[in-house]
Structure 1
């Protein structure tokens, strides 16, 4: 029989930085995280209070901003604590909890981006029926459905990872409990879990990405069929922000998770994971604010009200 000892805690190795650089990295990430949370809260409040923004597109933008409050909060505070105190340990239960919520919020973001692409498709390709198809009741169901389905689709995967045996090695080469470094530490047979992860990732990421691609193909075809500078400009202005967010999110997600072998390129995974976990949540409100005239007008009105 093998001499196995159960692991009750892990050590997150994080980023290999010198002591003098640790505080600089802490300050940088803390600043980004603070601005991210503040900006997304501001967008949610702005869309909630300004009646001019009570339309399906802004409803989903508000839903995305609300998600971006929670998505980085699963991993970033733990990273900041480790940088500040040099405390790298995390309990087994806390690690599995972090794993579940991180991937659940990631799945929800995929579904939301797919829904937002469908919303733009209806707005451009079926404009006369837009308010009928994307009624308030339908928008609420789509938003809630993305959250319910996101939390549900990760349950089976999380239970499989939770049931793995971990022995001897407990150092995770990451700043959070990611799938690939966890699997490499397991002394169980992991081929079935890796296949399940790959299948789930393909279903969620590639499935939603396919919806987005098809939606934009239909949008481009509709725009080309009716050549009009005003129509093309309006289409571009309403879709460009969403498309930029899609490129940022999916370029890293596909690289990180759509690979048959989860153990490959672990160090690159750690670097690339900064974008969906830290950078993208910050850029989302900035992109939607800077590229949207209605949001900028709403911000100006809100600033004027505060000055009065």
Structure 2
């Protein structure tokens, strides 16, 4: 079973990295892909490559060697919110799109996403580094996520749990609200299009992004937005892999 899991994860990881790097390269070399949509997609692909590279190779190493030691040493939501706003501008304000979503504005939006992502995780990270773990150091997870780390700590983790939930609510629901509002106005505009072909083209532009939004927000709300970060770690582990 471990061999099958190793092969499946390895192939999935290689396909993910190859696909994301291809997107990044194409947006850099193809002059037709210099719009704001592909600019945000390039950063999203870069972030996805970093995220999978942090988690999957470590898991593959554990499967192949049996060494399960992990050393103890959210940008994505803000990018999803910005990308939904970009779709809204492209469909609802096509005449103003090129003027409003210029390269300077796009650059500033992406920088704000990266800074906001770091600011969200920094307080919990600093507090987590000061937790005590006594004698037990085995976590019920594939990576050093917040819930399994809090579960084995012998420190008082109530404040960290509350902080994690508060930041998760602020980040997830704040950016999710931006996504929902953007798509409400976008869908209203698409419905008013005169031809079915125009409607289909507009919906196809947003469909892939909506799938990513549903999976990402669904998983993270399930894992982080709840009263206790220590509860249901086993279920969180399965959802985290998904």
Q: TM-score range with shorter-chain normalisation?
A: over 0.9
1:167 counterpart = 2:147: no
For residues 205-250 of structure 1, the C-alpha deviation after alignment (integer angstroms, 9 at most, x for no partner) is: 1111111001011112222345442432232121111111111211
Give the structure 1 partner of residue 27 of structure 2: 47
Give the SS at the match of 1:172: coil
Distance in 1 of aligned mates of 2:64 and 2:23 = 30
Bigger Rg, structure 1 or 2: 1
Do the aligned partners of 2:85 and 2:179 also contact (CA within 8 Å) in 1?
yes
Distance in 2 of aligned mates of 1:59 and 1:89 = 38
Deviation at 1:92, TM superposition (A): 2.5
Give the structure 2 partner of residue 124 of structure 1: 91
Do the aligned partners of 2:169 and 2:225 also contact (CA within 8 Å) in 1?
yes
- Point out the more displaced range, 56-65 or 220-229: 220-229
1:206 counterpart = 2:173: yes
For residues 254-285 of structure 1, the C-alpha deviation after alignment (integer angstroms, 9 at most, x for no partner) is: 1111111112211111111012xxxxxxxxxx
Deviation at 1:156, TM superposition (A): 0.8
Give the structure 1 partner of residue 18 of structure 2: 38
**1:10-21 alignment, distance < 5 Å:** 21=1
Deviation at 1:169, TM superposition (A): 1.4
Give the structure 1 partner of residue 225 of structure 2: 258
Distance in 1 of aligned mates of 2:18 and 2:177 = 32
RMSD (CA atoms): 1.3
For residues 58-86 of structure 1, the C-alpha deviation after alignment (integer angstroms, 9 at most, x for no partner) is: 11111111111101111111111111111
Give the structure 2 partner of residue 158 of structure 1: 125
Distance in 2 of aligned mates of 1:226 and 1:65 = 31
Deviation at 1:90, TM superposition (A): 2.3
Distance in 2 of aligned mates of 1:229 and 1:25 = 44
Distance in 2 of aligned mates of 1:238 and 1:142 = 21
State how many pairs are aligned.
242
Distance in 1 of aligned mates of 2:25 and 2:142 = 31
Give the structure 2 partner of residue 81 of structure 1: 61
Give the structure 1 partner of residue 46 of structure 2: 66
For residues 80-108 of structure 1, the C-alpha deviation after alignment (integer angstroms, 9 at most, x for no partner) is: 11111111122332xxxxxxxxxxxxx11
Distance in 2 of aligned mates of 1:39 and 1:223 = 29
For residues 154-212 of structure 1, the C-alpha deviation after alignment (integer angstroms, 9 at most, x for no partner) is: 11110011111111211100010011111111111111100000001111111111110
Give the structure 2 partner of residue 15 of structure 1: none
Distance in 2 of aligned mates of 1:241 and 1:92 = 36
Which is bigger in relative contact order (C-alpha 8 A, separation at least 6)?
Answer: 1
For residues 21-68 of structure 1, the C-alpha deviation after alignment (integer angstroms, 9 at most, x for no partner) is: 222211211111111111111111011111111111111111111111
- Point out the more displaced range, 44-53 or 233-242: 233-242
Distance in 2 of aligned mates of 1:27 and 1:192 = 40
Gaps of 5+ in 1: 1-20, 94-106, 276-308
Do the aligned partners of 2:70 and 2:144 also contact (CA within 8 Å) in 1?
no
